[in-house]
Every structure is written in C-alpha cells, then in structure tokens.
C-alpha cells in the first residue's frame, strides 16, 4: 500500500493535469486558482486509501477522488462568500479577488466538474457512488444552513452543535472513505464501518479545530480566538454555558454579546472563563470519545490489521496537528 505522502503527490499531479481551460477565461481562472492553493488533500487521499485498503486499483479510483476534492473546494468557495471572508489559506479568497458574481458562477462550474469526475467510477459501482455523493452534498448544504441558523438562535445545545458539524464536516470525510470502499467492491458491512469510522474521526477533527482556535498557535494566517471574536457557538462555548454558575454565565453573555469589545480583551476574558471551567479538558474528552468510537469501527473492518496502519497513522496525524 502507498503511504499518504505518495498518495498526496499523486493527487497533486492529477489536479495539475485536470483540463480546466476554456472560455470565458473568467469562469475557469478562479477554479484553477482555488485548486492551486496549499491544501492537505485529505478527502481524495482518504478515498484512495480506502480503495487500496480493500484491494482496489488506484487508477480506477483517482478521478472520483479528484471529484471529492473539487466538490470540497467548491463548498469552501461558496462558504467564503457567505462569510464574507477575505482570506483562504493565507491567500485572497476568490470573491475578494474576482468579485462575488464570478465566484458564485465559478463555484457552480466546480460542482459540475466534481459530478463529471465522480461519474467516472466503474459501472458496477457507479450508481452506489453517485447516490452516496448526492446524499452527502445535500447533507453538507444542510449543515451549512444550520451553522447560519445558529447565529440567530440562542437556545442551541451541544447535541445540536454535534449534528451540525456532523453534516457540515464529518459526512464528507465519511463519504470519501465509503466511496473508496464501494469502488473496491467491499462488503456492505465493511463499507458501513469505514463510513462510521470517517464520521467519528470527522467529529473529532472538527472538535480539535474548536480547541485549537482558542489554545493553538497562530500560524499560516489563522488567528487564535477567531471563534470567540465572531461569537461562534462552538462546543467549547456551549459546554461553558452548561457548566458555568450564574456569575460566569453573566460574564459570558456580556463578552459574547453584539456590543463592541476590544478584541484582545474579549479573547482574554473568555479564555480565562474557559480555563476556570476546565473547558479544554472537557473538549479533549469529547475528542477522545469520538476517536475511540472510530477506532472500534476500524477494528470491525474485515481486513488485516497491517493494512489498516496507514489509515490510522494518517488520522492520528490530523488529530495531533498544531493548527
């Protein structure tokens, strides 16, 4: 089996070889730009790794794997428009560089290209792969809508948040793994288990992002405390509101209100409340809960343990990252 650096190199070469030229050039240039920005390529790597895990041939899974990456970047392009984000991966976002109208249309074209690439799965698994992809694409949209809804709703609980990040983040990771399994004719049980593995690891992955937003180091243009400044209802904030006493809740309500605050004062004050309540520990326990669930799913897959090591090592590297 290939290691993950080899799979990433393969993916990068295939992305560079994609036919993304055409007229009008304003439609295609932003697509090439979006796909050229530095990225981990997690989703296509997972697709290919799962295909190899079940004995499949990489060449037959590569185009659908690319489709998953193009789809992911399409969602980021449109998310940046909705968030009015000026920076993505330390570079100007597409809408900041070309304008909103071009960004919307280029994103639409990316979705079409993703569908074309995924449709190159072999005939024996084509319907199953497409059904999985279309269902996942809708779930990602549902997750994004929930995320926007949460900005206006005060009565959000932790289960609501977990469901939102499951839809917005975890299901696509899970679908990539299951697509690789389907393209290698894995059994239904194995395909379901690797999907559950991806779902649980995806939840752990997003929760770690929440943690690093407060306790990570500022690298590659990502500012520590960004979620606090935007009043985002993360697991950490929701857990703090759950375990805080009356005085602490009042302080959180004050600092997380729409009233303007000095940015550094706000980050420091909320972080101090988190520290007092041991929110970091609660979050680490929640991450471990989903990580352990994912390990059980991986254990249940009927493939020799030596073939699972590559996938497990890659997952651990994502969860142990510093940013």
| pLDDT per residue as tens digits for the range 168-201 | 999 999 999 999 999 999 999 999 999 999 999 9
pLDDT band at 313 (very low <50, low <70, confident <90, very high): confident
- pLDDT for 52: 96
pLDDT band at 322 (very low <50, low <70, confident <90, very high): low
What is the residue extent of each domain of the chain? 4-319
Place of tokens 């997380």: 256
Helix axes 305-319, 279-300, angle to 10 degrees: 160
Give 247's contacts (C-beta < 8 A, 6+ positions apart): none
Q: Which fold has domain 4-319?
A: Farnesyl Diphosphate Synthase (1.10.600)
- pLDDT for 219: 45
| pLDDT per residue as tens digits for the range 119-141 | 999 999 999 999 999 999 999 99
**Cα separation, 133 vs 176, whole angstroms:** 9
Contact criterion met (CB below 8 Å) for 115 and 64: no
* For residue 128, cis peptide bond before it (omega within 30 degrees of 0): no
**Tokens matching residue 268:** 């420091």
Residue 222 has pLDDT above 60, yes or no: no
Q: What percent of the chain clears pLDDT 90, i.e. is strictly above it?
A: 79
**Cα separation, 164 vs 229, whole angstroms:** 20
Measured torsion, CA atoms of residues 150, 155, 157, 159, in degrees rounded to the nearest 10: -60
**Cα separation, 260 vs 282, whole angstroms:** 29
Within the chain, where are the H helices? 4-17, 25-36, 42-53, 58-83, 94-98, 100-118, 123-150, 158-165, 171-183, 188-215, 226-229, 235-243, 246-255, 263-276, 279-300, 305-319
| pLDDT per residue as tens digits for the range 70-129 | 999 999 999 999 988 888 888 999 999 999 999 999 999 999 999 999 999 999 999 999
């Amino acid at each position: 089996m290939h290691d993950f650096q080899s799979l990433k190199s393969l993916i990068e070469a295939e992305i560079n070889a994609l036919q993304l030229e055409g007229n009008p050039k304003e439609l295609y240039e932003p697509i090439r730009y979006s796909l050229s920005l530095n990225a981990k390529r997690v989703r296509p790597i997972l697709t290919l790794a799962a295909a190899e895990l079940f004995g499949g041939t990489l060449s037959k899974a590569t185009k659908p794997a690319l489709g998953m990456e193009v789809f992911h970047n399409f969602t980021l392009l449109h998310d940046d428009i909705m968030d009015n984000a000026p920076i993505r991966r330390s570079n100007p976002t597409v809408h900041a560089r070309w304008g909103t109208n071009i960004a919307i249309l280029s994103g639409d074209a990316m979705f079409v290209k993703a569908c074309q690439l995924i449709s190159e799965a072999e005939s024996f698994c084509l319907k199953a792969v497409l059904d999985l992809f279309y269902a996942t694409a809708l779930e990602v949209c549902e997750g994004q809508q929930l995320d926007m809804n949460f900005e206006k709703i005060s009565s959000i609980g932790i289960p609501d948040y977990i469901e939102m990040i499951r839809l917005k983040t975890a299901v696509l990771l899970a679908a990539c793994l299951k697509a690789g399994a389907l393209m290698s004719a894995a059994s239904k049980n194995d395909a379901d288990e690797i999907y559950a593995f991806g779902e649980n690891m995806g939840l752990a992955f997003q929760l770690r992002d929440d943690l690093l937003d407060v306790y990570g180091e500022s690298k590659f243009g990502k500012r520590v405390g960004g979620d606090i400044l935007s009043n985002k209802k993360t697991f950490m904030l929701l857990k703090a509101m759950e375990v805080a006493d009356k005085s602490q809740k009042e302080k959180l309500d004050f600092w997380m209100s729409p009233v303007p605050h000095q940015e550094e004062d706000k980050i420091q004050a909320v972080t101090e409340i988190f520290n007092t309540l041991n929110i970091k520990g609660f979050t680490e326990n929640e991450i471990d809960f989903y990580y352990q669930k994912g390990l059980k799913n991986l254990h249940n897959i009927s493939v020799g343990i030596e073939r699972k090591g590559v996938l497990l090592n890659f997952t651990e590297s994502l969860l142990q990252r510093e940013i």
